[in-house]
Amino acid sequence: MSINKVKYPEQIEKAISEIEKLLTIDYKLTKRSVALLLLQKDEALLREIAQKEPSYEKILEVITETEKHFTEPISYIIASVRQETAFKVEREALKEEGSEKASITEILHKLTVNPITGIPIMLLILYYGVYKFVGVFGAGTLVDLIETFFEKNINPVVNQVTAQVIPWKVLQDLIANDYGIITLGIRYAVAIVLPVVTTFFLMFSILEDSGYLPRLSLLVDRAFKAIGLSGRAVIPMVLGFGCDTMATMVTRTLETNRERIIATLLLALAIPCSAQLGVILGLLSNNPGALLIWSGFMIFVFLLVGFLTAQLLPGKRAGFYMEIPPLRIPKVKNVLTKTYVRMKWYFIEILPLFILASVLIWLGKLTGLFDLIIRALEPVMLWLGLPKEAAQVFLFGFFRRDYGAAGMFDLYQRGILAGRQLVVAAITLTLFIPCIAQFSMMLKERGTKVTLAMTAFIFPFAFLMGYLVNFLLTALGVNF
Amino acid sequence: MNALQKPLAINLINMKTGEKGIVAYFNTNDEAIIKKLMAMGVIPGLPIALEQRFPTYVIKIGRTRAAVDREIAQTIYVRLTANK
């Protein structure tokens, strides 16, 4: 064996050799490592030996017997011995000159974690990095550029070719025209999602590699605890402003199932994605008062629903612990590679969802189901004080966000939707399940039962809040 | 270490910012918490310093820096060493 073999206390060494003798199959690890992992109660390995080792009971006995010799868990003793050995090696190998000085990175670290300076820094990063770069540049400028390209150069060609090759109108519509797989599904994925996701992942990789994200988590942990989340959840929440579908997927990284459920619900309910933000800011930007009411109300709902869910959901609260790496200047190559790999992976996940959306719209129109839903939604719109034309905006917006947006703009310009109604429509539309892609991701990540429960809450809640806001604004005589 | 020289261990949340010590023990039965702490390098016998208390506890253990919430900080007991 190697000279660096770690020597554990006698009782542990004895247990190791006993377990070594009892092991019969090959684990691709030395028997000593397997024995050590078992003594530390490695769950995966314990499950494996329960199935494969004939003397499983005997091994468990050795472990319990050994535990009796110590007051602390064995894993704790093993870690301490390893730490000591590591220290010994370090002392022999490392020569340090001078003491740690307050370097620039140290000063920056202090500035980013102290709440007095850290919170303004956080707001600046979110404003320029997320809002300006991803929201305005990615979701605005770049989306417009690629959309125009698709509409001018790709869609007409696809429409023409399909019209010549396929004789049936019904099948033509599946592939081309207003809601086709290529002209809607793929265009949507490439022209709208791709630029948003690219700018977002680029920004995110820079933040990640600089070591800033753990500091962000540290700053918001206390506030997030109030809504049943931990500082760790700040990452999917920030991602949500880019794309809620992606953020729902990232809730995987949260520690407890309880936290994952709360985060998924808040993302579906109260975090508008960049596409929604674009529309809403466009509609309300002429009315600072309306914008203020909308954003204030969304923050209120976010906190209230988070707080109530945290009270109602059983289970252990999520603890927060995180290593804080030193701040570093990100390497361009690493950032680009990461962005590329993530985009590829994300695109493979999301493209089928957009194709599915096209097929569903095609089916909905073909079967007349959409007309039925729109007629059913019309009275709801009137009840909210909205024109009945808004029903179509809500339904189509679910499948195709840009249509919902265009529809709203259209109603606004025709003067059908005005003043107070704009705020009501914006609030209801934001609370509503954002889009079919996110809905599918929720099904995939949280399962059918939880997703349906959330939907059953969100649908009536969105309309109820719309009604309430309309009622309050009317009662108070607020108009814009 | 000589037992007579060992000062009493205090809870991490009762330490002042800037104070240094040695991790003494964990006061919890939750093995998951102990595992998390040890994975970050918070191991009895290691030097620890408290750098910040609000909004989250920031500690430095050896060369590693970590943030822990109050619940987890409460499980760590530290033997203070003389400052400087």
β-bridge partners, B47:
B22
pLDDT at A102: 64
Give the pLDDT mean for A13-37: 90
**pLDDT at residue A3 tops 80:** no
A324 in contact with B at a CB cutoff of 8 Å?
yes
**pLDDT at residue A310 tops 80:** yes
B22 in contact with A at a CB cutoff of 8 Å?
no
For residue A327, list chain B residues with Cβ-Cβ distance below 8 A.
none
CB contact under 8 A, A320 and B68: yes
Task: Give B31-38 contacts, CB < 8 A, sequence gap 24+.
Answer: B31/A41, B31/A73, B31/A75, B33/A319, B33/B72, B33/B75, B34/A73, B34/A75, B34/A76, B34/B75, B35/A75, B36/A319, B36/A321, B36/B72, B37/A321, B37/B68, B37/B72, B37/B75, B37/B76, B38/A75, B38/A76, B38/A79
Q: Give CA–CA dist A263/B12, Å, rounded.
A: 30
pLDDT at A176: 86
Which of these, A182, A179, A174, lies nearest to A157 by C-alpha position? A182
Which of these, A137, A135, A177, lies nearest to A155 by C-alpha position? A177
Q: Give CA–CA dist A54/A409, Å, rounded.
A: 71
Q: Where are the domains of chain A?
A: 10-93, 116-274+325-347
Give the pLDDT mean for A406-410: 73
From B68, which residue of chain A is nearest by alpha-carbon distance?
A321
pLDDT at A400: 63
Digit-coded pLDDT (tens) for A224-267: 999 999 999 998 998 888 778 889 998 998 989 999 999 999 99
- Compute the nearest-CA separation of A77 from chain B (Å): 9
Instruction: Give me chain A's average pLDDT, please.
Output: 87
Q: Give residue A429's pLDDT band: very low, low, confident or very high (50, 70, 90).
A: confident
Judge if pTM exceeds 0.90.
no
B37 in contact with A at a CB cutoff of 8 Å?
yes
Digit-coded pLDDT (tens) for A71-95: 878 888 888 888 888 888 888 888 8
Q: Give residue A98's pLDDT band: very low, low, confident or very high (50, 70, 90).
A: low
Give the CA angle between residues A254, A258, A440 to the nearest 5°: 75
β-bridge partners, B78:
B10, B23
CB contact under 8 A, B55 and A115: yes
Report the percent of chain A where pLDDT is more than 90.
42
For residues A455, A459, A462, A463, the Cα torsion angle rounded to the nearest 10 degrees is -170
Q: Give residue A16's pLDDT band: very low, low, confident or very high (50, 70, 90).
A: very high
CB contact under 8 A, B46 and A83: yes
Q: Give residue B1's pLDDT band: very low, low, confident or very high (50, 70, 90).
A: very low
Beta strands in A305-419 (DSSP E): 321-323
Digit-coded pLDDT (tens) for A286-307: 788 888 999 999 999 999 999 9
Question: Are the CB atoms for A427 and A420 separated by under 8 Å?
Answer: no
Q: Give residue A404's pLDDT band: very low, low, confident or very high (50, 70, 90).
A: low
**pLDDT at residue A117 tops 90:** yes
Containing B68, the helix (H) or strand (E) segment is: strand B64-68
ipTM of the prediction: 0.88
pLDDT at A187: 82
B36 in contact with A at a CB cutoff of 8 Å?
yes
Instruction: Fold for B9-80, please state it.
Output: SH3 type barrels. (2.30.30)
Digit-coded pLDDT (tens) for A436-459: 888 989 999 999 999 999 999 999
Q: Report CA-CA distances (Å) from A241 to A138, A274, A368.
A: 12, 5, 34
pLDDT at A405: 64
From A119, which residue of chain B is nearest by alpha-carbon distance?
B55
Locus of tokens 């500690």: B59
From A215, which residue of chain B is nearest by alpha-carbon distance?
B67
A292 in contact with B at a CB cutoff of 8 Å?
no
Three-state SS at B81: coil
Two structure tokens written together for B67? 């943030």
CB contact under 8 A, B45 and A322: no
* Closest CB from A76, A222, A326 relative to B56: A222
Report the percent of chain A where pLDDT is more than 70.
96
Which DSSP category does A41 fall into?
T
CB contact under 8 A, A322 and B67: yes
Looking at per-residue pLDDT, the higher value among B83 and B57 belongs to B57
Digit-coded pLDDT (tens) for B19-75: 999 999 899 888 788 888 988 889 888 899 999 999 999 999 988 999 999 999 999
* Closest CB from A80, A109, A225 relative to B44: A80
Give the pLDDT mean for B72-83: 88
pLDDT at A239: 83
The interaxial angle of helices A436-446 and A448-475, nearest 10 deg, is 130
Question: Are the CB atoms for A229 and A258 separated by under 8 Å?
Answer: no
Query: Residue A127: how many CB atoms within 10 A of its CB?
Result: 12
Give the pLDDT mean for A178-188: 81
CATH number for A10-93 (one of 1.10.10.10, 3.40.50.1580, 3.30.70.1450, 1.10.287.1770): it is 1.10.287.1770
